[in-house]
Chain A
Amino acid sequence: MKFHKAFKQALNMVLHSKLRSWLTILGIVIGVAAVIAIVSLSNSLETEMNSQFDALGGDLLTLTAGASRANYFSHGRGDSQEWGGGGATATEEGEEIELDRSDVQALKGVSDIKLMDTQISGNADIYYVAESGSVSVTGVDPSTWSQITTLEVAQGRMLGPADTNVIVIGGRIADGFFKKQLGINQLVTIESRLFRIVGILDDNSNSVYMPIDVAYDVIEDKERGIYDRIIIKVKDENQISLAINNTVKKLLIARHVTENTKDFSISSNQAQNESRAEMMNSMTTFLTAIAAVALLVGAVGVANTMFTSVLEKTKEIGIMKAIGARNNDILTIFLLNAALIGFIGGLLGVFFGGILSGMLPALMGQSGGMLSRMASGSSGISWSMVLITLFFSILLGMVSGAIPAYQASKLKPVDALRYE
């Protein structure tokens, strides 16, 4: 039998299949949809992260107090310990570890450093008309921030040296946070202080940037003159390790500590990137495992349907053999049937997976953090992914259908014909 004739038979079999086959297809649909959603989610998560880290720039260092490794994830928390020092950590002896003017002074003596931006951050309540919400506020040095940060404004301008009661807001606050859209020169209240918006960032964040002087009044538990972190821009990106070494040496002396009692840490963009990637990897692996289980269940479903289908079609197989079908013809027809089930399941799975991956971030809402920001971002589904998925669901169908199809082909015509 020619291939396209066998295909016609297989297609006919699928079209005339009972509800049960369609339920099997549903099994594959769910598996594939889960895979698509998970893969596309982690894809866009990765893109989102990469874009954030690209934005940080390779010539930037982040100096924080404390002996631990750079704690990127906690700097927005506004750590405040029993001593009440903003952004400070306490040693065992109860001595505060913090960054202050003297550190800035010390850093000024490092020739590799081009610019510095002292920052504090935390959460604050924002009010506009009758609405309110919580945003993350970062106080920055208005005279250097715009030269150091790689954030860009979509409208308006960045902060300048003379600014006081003005802010630059993230794209999400301008559009989507309040019922009304916010624009340049509009006034908002943050913790009972009035601010004028001078710039809107070209991003999707819920962040507010303001001069550090006013930020001390807005963010709770921050002590004036104490910084959460100092962002350092080096002169030569290619000499960044040298710059780190020199900076560390200088700070060890200035802070009267040794390599062993070091009470500060400097992290570069690259290092953060790596730890992020590590976390991403383990998360993706975990999610993929879940999806794989879902797919496995789908595969078992196909195998089960194929076995029953072979049983159901035993008589037809006998008839086909009686009128000249070779074993190979039967094998081809049943394999194609399984492949078609896989294909249809895959196709529907890609479709629903696409919808799901578009919906998930929105469902997670505010608590989704980075995920929620992706809701309006680009979907992580690519054509190559669709093709690979389809290829694998067809393969899945065929692998699960292989044994039943082989059994069907080996049936003795006389036995098959007698089957009722």
Chain B
Amino acid sequence: MTKQETVLLHLEDVWKIYKMGEVEVPALRGVTVEIKKGDFVAIIGASGSGKSTMMNLIGCLDAPSKGKIFLKGQDITKMSESNLATLRGQTIGFIFQQFNLIPSITAFNNVLLPLEFLEVDDKIAIERTRTILKLVGLDDKGHHLPTQLSGGQQQRVSIARSLASNPDIILADEPTGALDSVTGKKILELFHKLWKEEGKTIIMVTHDLNLAKYAHTLIELKDGQIISINKNFEVEK
């Protein structure tokens, strides 16, 4: 089995049903999929098709109503909250549509924070933070508060934060949703670079097909079910 073939993530007949009082809203209906290490996946589909729900489950932020999720071979539905937190910190980097930076601390400290939760040695953590800020092209903006940065810059900080703990997977839910198209394109180029040069596994939600073309695998959701999985050979490494 080559490196490319290693299965990093495996969803097996995953259901998610939201209960709103008496009403049950099935957001995911029996999703089964394998995502291999080093892949760049775009999840596409109409609004309300269950994309975010699927991301939250993959990212261990929520538990499925039914089914199993294996992350690096471990069934995360059976893990304790504290183990799950550590797994999240080490394995997954989140990028949100609204950036979700902590407003009261500087860009540098935002990137440093995941390493502090993981109790990484100070010296290593600070060095790592510098390197990553440089990688996203913000080495001179570390001392700024999030509000002092533009949207594109804030999203770069949040990308840097997602990379801090050197995770296996980057999860990005509509990362360009709050950005203009030019800035959005630049962010996608950064993703592409991370995928090609850093060998990251990236899973990205988008409803913009122009952006989805940067991805290698396209998973299309409709009404909580996968209706197609396509490979985009143009972006082959």
Contact = CB atoms under 8 A, between A and B. Distances in A.
Interface of A: 1-2, 5, 12-13, 16, 315-316, 318-329, 412-414, 417
Given A2-B116, A324-B118, A325-B85, A315 B100 contact: yes
Interface stretch (B6-14, B56-64, B181-189, B217-225): B56-64
Highest count of chain A CB atoms <10 Å: which of B102, B114, B165:
B102
Contacts, number: 68
Interface residues of B, number: 27
B89 interface: yes
Contact of B102 (A316, A327, A413): A316
A326 B117 contact: yes
Nearest to B59: A322
Contact of B161 (A1, A12, A323, A326): A323
Contact of B104 (A12, A320, A413): A12
B61 A324 contact: no
Contacts of A324: 85-86, 88-90, 114, 117-118, 165
A323 B61 contact: no
Given A320-B113, A413-B62, A12 B105 contact: yes
Contact of A322 (B86, B90, B94): B94
B210 interface: no
Given A323-B113, A323-B161, A16 B81 contact: no
B119 interface: yes
A318 B88 CA distance: 13
A130 B188 CA distance: 94
A228 B116 CA distance: 79
B19 to A, nearest CB: 13
A13 B102 CA distance: 11
Contacts of A326: 81-82, 85-86, 117
Contacts of A319: 100-102
Interface in B114-134: 114, 116-119
A322 B96 CA distance: 10
A1 B100 contact: no
B61 A322 contact: yes
A320 B116 CA distance: 11
B94 A323 contact: yes
Nearest to A420: B98
A320 B82 contact: no
B113 to A, nearest CB: 6
Q: When A and B form their complex, which 5 residue pairs have the shortest distance between CB atoms, in order from nearest?
A: A324-B89, A414-B62, A324-B117, A326-B85, A16-B104
